[in-house]
Amino acid sequence: MSTQTHPLESEYRAFSPASATLASRARQVFPGGDTRASAHYLPYPLSIVEASGCLATDADGHHMLDFMNNFTSLIHGHAHPEVVAAVQAQVALGSAYAAPSDHQIELAELITSRVPGIELMRFTSSGSEGTTMAIRCARAATGRQKIMKMEGGYHGSFELAEVSLVPTPDKRGNLAAPNSLAVDNSFPDSVLRDTVICPYNQADLAGALIDQHANDLAAVIVEPILGSMGMIPATAEFLSTLRQKTQQHGVVLIFDEVITLRNSLGGMQEVHAVIPDLTCLGKIIGGGLPVGALGGSAELMQLFSPEAVRPVMHASTFSGNVLTMAAGLAAMRSLQEQDTDRINNLAGRLRQGFNHAFEQSGIRGQALGMGSLTNLHFSDQPINDARDAMEGMIAAGHMTRLLHLAMLTRGVMSASRLMFCTSTAMTEADIDAAVTALHESLAVLRPYIKKERPDLLIP
């Protein structure tokens, strides 16, 4: 059956006519009607007109439970009162100065006091900019060119950060030495040559690859939870091996904690007691406004000092802008250990409920994740790396898309790849409502799975 005329898509279209109208207008000014690929999905995305707490209201007036939270960046949900007050007070005083501000310093003081691996830091305008500058810092410090990243890892919107983001079975090569794959036709060959791909959660293979390429490696960059492949947690053994091997060879270890800082005040480096040389941040530290950051050891970060002999160049018009700093400071001050514990526990309840829904439906699936981060997979097999995740995605086909649409029509927003995250605005009742929506959605989806993807049914 064509996905263009699937009954569940028809249900979605009937649910969201105002969003359909706006999507049609968007196609007149944006290629494909899209100005942000991650937020786009077929047949068209819901348009949101306002949001407060954990509820977002779409153009047709539906109140949606928001488990996307702008891709994990809104740890307090929408329009948190203290963040709103801070932004309102600051915008009347100006939104961006070409000068330092007290908010900038205070937010940096708070972050450096919490994150073990950050002694000094710099703000950027996005997480992508933060990872870019981390890589440049590592190259300047070591005099080497190559970067090792994980298969299926995502570190922003630039070529190196997206190499082997989608490790397709016909092109990815041997697990012990994966191929460097371009995600689109814009990649120069030089980027692929300078990127060493490492299998995730394979400690022995990772150690061997670092040994093999050590003389050319400037850095190893890793997400402590592999986000784009479905929230796959790294094992402590894997991260410890990366730390030991990079120290042995003088390679800079970079943790991309843009997403994972929400799981603990000190990030996953605090949880695992594995301290990187550099840490990239973003998302929650901006209070809902665009932000990124880079921090690390004083020795490495001093390479950015304008007073250095030959500083690493970093100029960015809106980095550390006072409006974002005011919002971020309010958001981070409002986030305490009891808050991260609570939303982590809520997500544990969510995963437990989701897993029960799959079991009861007779459909192969699971909720994977750690802390406040969760992702649904149409697979009942262990998922430890990007290759495991890809097998599930291929087996599911368009069922992932249909489940996303079914959940939307039942009032639950997630990323189209079925990523969910909890916020401090949520309660157990919100979690239970999402679990109920999944039960209902899987019941509706089951006849189509039986007809179109029978291998997803449990015998």
Q: Other CB atoms closer than 10 Å to residue 216's CB: what's the count? A: 15
- Catalytic residue selected from 283, 385, 388, 430: 283
Residue 408 sits at the vertex; the CA angle it makes with 406 and 409, to the nearest 5 degrees, is 65
Q: Quote the tokens at residue 176.
A: 């012990």
Q: Quote the tokens at residue 124.
A: 């950027």
Pairing state between β 373-377 and 366-370: antiparallel
Question: How many CA atoms does the CB half-sphere of 352 hold within 13 Å?
Answer: 10
Residue partners of 230: CB distance under 8 A and separation at least 6: 368, 375, 377, 383, 389, 392, 417, 418, 419
What distance in Å separates the CA atoms of residue 315 and residue 301, rounded to the nearest whole number? Answer: 15
Residue with tokens 């149409």: 378
Handedness of CA 409, 413, 419, 425 (dihedral sign): negative
Helices (H), 27-164: 69-72, 81-91, 102-114, 127-142, 159-162
Does the active-site annotation cover 256? yes
- Catalytic residue selected from 12, 154, 277, 430: 154
What distance in Å separates the CA atoms of residue 456 and residue 450, rounded to the nearest whole number? Answer: 8
Nearest to 273 by CA among 287, 255, 294, 289: 255
- Catalytic residue selected from 66, 194, 256, 388: 256
Residue partners of 224: CB distance under 8 A and separation at least 6: 233, 234, 239, 255, 257, 260, 267, 268, 269, 271, 272
Burial group, residue 218, by CB count within 10 angstroms (0-12, 13-18, 19+): buried
Does the active-site annotation cover 66? no
Q: Residue 329: what are its φ and ψ, rounded to 5°?
A: -65, -45
Is residue 253 a contact partner of residue 276, using CB atoms and an 8 Å limit? yes
Does the active-site annotation cover 171? no
Is residue 285 a contact partner of residue 263, using CB atoms and an 8 Å limit? no
DSSP per residue, 215-278: GGEEEEEE-SEETTTT-EEPPHHHHHHHHHHHHHHTPEEEEE-TTGGGGSTTHHHHHHT---SE
Cite the active site residues. Answer: 154, 256, 283
